[in-house]
């Protein structure tokens, strides 16, 4: 049967094949992930949890769940293997946003205080933005970054002591440096706050040992599965075993209804792939490519937030070097030559989030396509040429 939708899919496939993809949160999944998420599991309702779970929230509200029960248990086991952890894991969150929402509701009440990193300094929408559910329901206070864009751990400690938050959140969507989970965890402990890590961007690096792990330090760890983990679009929540019942109830029935079992199948395939030596080698190449590209921009005279990168992304700040250019100007000019990235706020941003003074660049997707350092450097030179023509 024909459908207009397949024309759109073919057009998007062409766009993805013909563009250089530098959006730091995107990647290209395997055929097996595609097969799993396009499978008959999409037909199944399965509100609840497999009966064998360690948590108290047992049982499904529908019959016919014997296969999806096994699948979901298998998915949980594989994710524990990916991160070498014995934490409880909930694989049902539909997205990173849903995972964060459920995590907050599991251990907090509306109005409770959360200390996090502001969106404009590299945090995420769900880390307390006023236009997001998080900022509307909870009382967020924010720690600063230094003038060079590094997390200001002294400010974090001072704010923790001043505001006595119920939860401290570490994690970011536009931060290019190692996050010191041990330091933040220590501060959280000193003020008796829950410590939550949203590792969505760096989860692939954590899995491959290219970034320190939050497991064993954080009480709750959330992530998406589609960024550096290179899997299906979706979310996960890990937690210390004693929080398992709260977290499971926070996902279902508090924030979600039926889980997406086809997506859980895709997450299980993603986890199988993330355990492999090939994936670990891939992540090592992502980090090398990103550093090579970032170094080339520095050589060409660009200003990079924090002066470099330790992970899969970096931010170019045009404020001083190209004051006439906004991030949007650069994003639009690169779109015209099939290079895709996103405009991004920079620390102490003076423009609106729709314009911004910077762009964010990530190498996870192009490394999947086979990029080595030489390709990343060549691309930086092309982007520089285009920027110089504006």
Q: Which residues bind ligand DSN (CB under 6 A)?
A: 25, 96, 124, 173
- Preceding amide of 243 cis, omega within 30: no
* Cβ nearer to ligand DSN, comparing 25 with 290: 25
Q: Which member of 21, 72, 198, 349 is catalytic?
A: 198
Q: Is 198 a catalytic residue?
A: yes
CB of 24 to ligand DSN, least distance (A): 6
* Cβ nearer to ligand DSN, comparing 135 with 186: 135
Q: Are 215 and 221 in contact (CB under 8 A)?
A: yes
Distance in angstroms (rounded) separating the CA atoms of residues 331 and 318: 12
CB of 290 to ligand DSN, least distance (A): 15
CB of 360 to ligand DSN, least distance (A): 8
Q: Which member of 233, 267, 291, 360 is catalytic?
A: 233
* Cβ nearer to ligand DSN, comparing 116 with 173: 173
130-159 residues labelled b (16+ CB within 10 A) or e (exposed): eebbbbebbbbebbbbeeebbbbeeebbeb
* Cβ nearer to ligand DSN, comparing 49 with 314: 314
Q: Which member of 60, 159, 227, 267 is catalytic?
A: 227
Q: Are 321 and 359 in contact (CB under 8 A)?
A: no
CB of 61 to ligand DSN, least distance (A): 30
Three-state secondary-structure class, residue 29: coil
Distance in angstroms (rounded) separating the CA atoms of residues 203 and 297: 26
Q: Which member of 126, 222, 223, 224 is catalytic?
A: 224
Distance in angstroms (rounded) separating the CA atoms of residues 97 and 145: 23
Three-state secondary-structure class, residue 231: coil
Q: Are 359 and 342 in contact (CB under 8 A)?
A: yes
Q: Is 227 a catalytic residue?
A: yes
* First-to-final CA distance of the chain: 47
Q: Is 47 a catalytic residue?
A: yes
CB of 128 to ligand DSN, least distance (A): 14
* Cβ nearer to ligand DSN, comparing 159 with 201: 201
* Cβ neighbours for 358, distance < 8 A, ≥ 6 positions apart: 305, 315, 316, 317, 318, 319, 327, 343, 344, 345, 346, 349
CB of 22 to ligand DSN, least distance (A): 12
Q: Is 233 a catalytic residue?
A: yes
Q: Tokens representing 121?
A: 């300094």
* Cβ nearer to ligand DSN, comparing 65 with 315: 315
DSSP code per residue over 123-183: --GGGT-TTSHHHHHSEEEEE-B-TTS-B-HHHHHHHHHHH--SEEEE--SS--S---HHH
Spatial strand order of the sheet with 358-362 comes to 303-304, 313-317, 358-362, 342-344
Q: Which member of 47, 152, 373, 384 is catalytic?
A: 47
* Cβ nearer to ligand DSN, comparing 187 with 363: 363
Q: CA dihedral in degrees (100, 54, 249, 111; nearest 10)?
A: -60
CB of 124 to ligand DSN, least distance (A): 6
Residues annotated catalytic, as ranges: 45, 47, 198, 224, 227, 233
């Amino acid at each position: 049967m024909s459908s207009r939708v397949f024309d759109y899919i073919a057009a998007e496939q062409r766009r993805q094949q013909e563009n250089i993809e530098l959006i730091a949160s995107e990647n290209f999944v395997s055929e097996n992930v595609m097969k799993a998420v396009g499978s008959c599991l999409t037909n199944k309702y399965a509100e609840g949890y497999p009966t064998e779970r360690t948590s108290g929230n047992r049982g499904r509200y529908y019959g016919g769940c014997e296969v999806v029960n096994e699948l979901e248990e298998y998915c949980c086991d594989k994710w524990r293997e990916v991160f070498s952890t014995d934490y409880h894991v909930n694989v049902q969150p539909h997205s990173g946003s849903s995972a964060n929402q459920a995590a907050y509701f599991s251990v907090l009440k509306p109005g409770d205080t959360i200390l996090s990193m502001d969106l404009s300094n590299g945090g995420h929408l769900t880390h307390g933005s006023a236009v997001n559910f998080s900022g509307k329901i909870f009382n967020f206070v924010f720690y600063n970054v230094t003038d060079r864009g590094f997390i200001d751990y002294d400010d974090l400690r001072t704010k923790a002591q001043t505001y006595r938050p119920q939860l401290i959140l570490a994690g970011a969507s536009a931060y290019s440096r190692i996050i010191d989970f041990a330091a933040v965890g220590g501060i959280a402990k000193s003020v008796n706050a829950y410590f939550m890590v949203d590792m969505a961007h760096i989860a692939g690096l954590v899995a491959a040992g290219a970034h320190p792990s939050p497991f064993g330090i954080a009480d709750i760890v959330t992530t998406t599965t589609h960024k550096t983990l290179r899997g299906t679009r979706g979310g996960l929540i890990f937690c210390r075993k004693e929080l398992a019942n709260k977290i499971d109830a926070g996902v279902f029935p508090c924030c979600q209804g039926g889980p997406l079992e086809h997506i859980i199948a895709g997450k299980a395939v993603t986890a199988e792939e993330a355990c492999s030596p090939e994936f670990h080698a891939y992540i090592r190449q992502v980090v090398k490519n990103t550093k090579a590209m970032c170094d080339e921009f520095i050589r060409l005279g660009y200003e990079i937030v924090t002066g470099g990168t330790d992970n899969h992304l970096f931010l170019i700040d045009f404020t001083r070097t190209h004051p006439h250019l906004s991030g949007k100007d650069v994003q639009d000019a690169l779109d015209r030559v099939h290079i895709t990235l996103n405009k991004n706020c920079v620390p102490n941003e003076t423009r609106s989030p729709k314009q911004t003074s910077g762009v964010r660049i990530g190498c996870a997707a192009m490394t999947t396509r086979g990029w080595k350092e030489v390709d990343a450097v060549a691309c930086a030179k092309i982007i520089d040429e285009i920027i110089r023509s504006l």
